């Protein structure tokens, strides 16, 4: 099993989650905990950076689906950035680009929050 880690940092009033490794059924709870923690602290401007994520399974996608409504109800959003082609294709296949804002660069995602 490959490793999975989440690095959390703040930039321009946004919370950035850097995902690394493989996000699957075994590691999805780590992402869930990170999102629950941000929501509990009322940190609703969330940018998820996928630049070091090699693989995502449906369980990982499910975590995003589980929390997006909660975050949007509170006036925030979850923006996704820096996906490699393989990871983007999984999101694309399931229609995520219609539900989520997906950006090439982290800075573009952060900018959309500062305009809101």
Identify whether the C-beta of residue 48 lies closer than 8 Å to the C-beta of residue 59. Answer: no
pLDDT of residue 63: 95
Query: Which neighbouring-strand residues pair with 79?
Result: 47
Nearest to 20 by CA among 32, 33, 3, 37: 3
Domains of the chain (ranges; CATH) run 4-111 (3.30.750.24)
pLDDT higher than threshold 80 for residue 2 = no
pLDDT higher than threshold 70 for residue 7 = yes
pTM of the model: 0.94
Percentage, residues of the chain above pLDDT 90: 91
- With 0-12 CB in 10 A as exposed, 13-18 as middle and 19+ as buried, what is 5? exposed
- Using one digit for the tens of pLDDT, what is the confidence trace for 23-49? 999 999 999 999 999 999 999 999 999
> Averaged over 62-74, what is the pLDDT?
95
Per the prediction, the chain carries an average pLDDT of: 94
């Amino acid at each position: 099993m490959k490793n999975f880690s989440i690095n959390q940092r703040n930039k321009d009033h946004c919370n950035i989650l850097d995902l690394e490794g493989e996000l699957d059924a075994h590691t999805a709870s780590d992402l869930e905990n990170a999102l629950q923690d941000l929501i509990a602290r009322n940190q609703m401007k969330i940018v998820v950076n996928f630049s070091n994520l090699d693989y995502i399974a449906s369980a990982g996608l499910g975590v995003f689906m589980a929390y997006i409504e909660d975050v949007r109800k509170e006036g925030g959003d979850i923006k996704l950035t820096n996906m490699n082609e393989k990871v983007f294709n999984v999101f694309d296949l399931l229609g995520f680009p219609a539900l989520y804002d997906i950006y090439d660069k982290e800075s573009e995602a952060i900018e959309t929050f500062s305009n809101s």
